[in-house]
Structure 1
Amino acid sequence: MGYGLLNLLFVYMVFSLMLAVFNLVYLRQLKRERRHRENARRLLQAGRARLRKALTEKGTRAERRRIRRFSMVRYLGRFEEELKEVAAYDPALVRAYFQKYEAEYMMLIVPIQKMGVTEKTMYARLVMKYGINADQKSAAFAAAMIRLMDRSSMFLMYNVLGALAVMGMPEALSDALKVMTEQGFYCYSKVTTNALMWYAGSRNELLLLLLKNQNEYNPEIRCALLEYARKEKGPYKRDILRILENGSENLEVRLEALRYFIKYPSIEAEEVVRKLLLERKTMDWRYAALGVKVLAAFPSAENRALVRTLTHDPIWYVHQNATEAWKQMERGHA
């Protein structure tokens, strides 16, 4: 009996300790959340007061003097936090502020060019988020933005490309991609695609221009363009079909072309893909793995027989995709 009471007491003490720890963690979490809300409220109040004062005649001179100090990280970073809070509650105030001081912020690029990657990244992000030069479309400013790029920072490249996209300047974007190619800057295709998604003008016009100049870009950028084309339905099939037809084309670029035709089927692409699959033994297996998905949209007897043979392929991805494509074709044929 004594041991039973001791066991109960031990369980009770462990449970009490766990409850106390849980309450302590919960209270700390509440305290952090309260502190975060208080900080956000202070930033919102400070930001609103600063922007409203800057829009008055009396505060203009002091604001211009303050902007010149933004080349230092601590000032620019703090101001970005304030802007983020104000933009969420009073976007009209932020727009009015940047319309008045756009020229001053554009002039900041001169000292920023001599600074480090951190300052350049923060400045490019500010330009992207608040549409600096979106109305003026200064070619000189766009060229200066391109010169900010550095091979050591993919995030900087993303912000610069995003800023040029927000400006709605397709030629400047094309020049930036050429510079990245010429200077050997590497940027993941998905990062480049996400930056292009900020484009403020006609995305069809942008893509047609970039596809026209695609041979001047490296394979990673060209893959990004094809990813972008998959997101934007438009008249790109002819350009992308030429990529697929070119046997000397980069492998990854041709695979992206296949992914495009999986989403947007084409009779012309079907013929090219059928020829690729007929050469399965001499071609990279990835052509077959994606090609069967293209043929799934065209359930002719010839295509069904070809895909059926690939359901026994030794490569698992080819076998799996071919099996799914064949089932889809059978349903479509029936």
Structure 2
Amino acid sequence: MKAISYSRYGGPEVLEYGDLRDPKVGPDSVLVKVRAAAVNPVDWKARQGYLAPVLDAVFPVVPGWDVAGVVVGLGAGVVEYAVGDEVIGYVREDVLSRGTFAEYVAAPVRTLARKPRTLTWEEAAGLPLTGLTAYQVLHRLLRVRRGDTVLVHAAAGGVGSIAVQLARHLGARVIGTASEANHDYVRSLGGEPVTYGEGLAERVRGLAPEGVDAAFDTVGGETLKISAQLLVPDGRLASIADGDVVSYGGHYWFVRPDTEDLTRLAELAEQGTVHVHVSRTFPLDRAADAHRHNEKGPTRGKTVVTVPWET
């Protein structure tokens, strides 16, 4: 199969396009023919070696954890899916090895859900990691409920944009940080935008003088510190960017594959509650350019790699 891979840690230049063997399919996995795979910051951080302390790399590594595609083969013990089913997945295992930037990926059924029929392949590929991250943080850590005021950082980005929509669906008021160029986009999601940077705390307090009930940090550092200061007494704080959140009484989260959560997200997408914005697409053989684009900094929505489809 054609795939993107890297045989050493480094910049985008270590990514190579070429032939790799087709993946073996374990008893609780399915073989997915990939239509699209989203780029996430964790992909290029893994490529640079930042995850080496916690995840072994089995080179050559195929990057990518997000996928949308079609089931074309079944493991011996699989009863959940049939050949021809359209699926999405957050295909993360406990090592860096066989990712989704390829024509095929062997995906454990515990990482998959059925593709929302209302989303394009590109949109569907952008839902799993960011959607699960937002869903799990809002439900498991922040316990957002109707009437809460929730602060979401990088509200125009992949995780932030889904978090705004999910929090609004839960009945919360959402204040979202974003560049001025993305304020209208944040409003379209149902959030109240504020510009990040110097003076952020004062701008948030201008909208919520009493403070916020929950803060979702996706940036870390000074942003995390400010978030803690903006909480009401007994407010809830979570971060996906900075482990120091525990020193402020909050919780750190690394998204987990979860079929039940992903299925619920797919249902919300089909109902029109959750939308995925795709900012750029790149063909598989230009995945290095997709990494470069994502590394430049905050983007609106998702960057997606598409895979040529031949029947």
Q: TM-score of the superposition, structure 2-length normalised?
A: 0.27
Whose strand fraction is larger, Structure 1's or Structure 2's? 2
Whose helix fraction is larger, Structure 1's or Structure 2's? 1
Q: TM-score of the superposition, structure 1-length normalised?
A: 0.26
Task: Decide which structure has the larger Cα Rg and report it.
Answer: 1
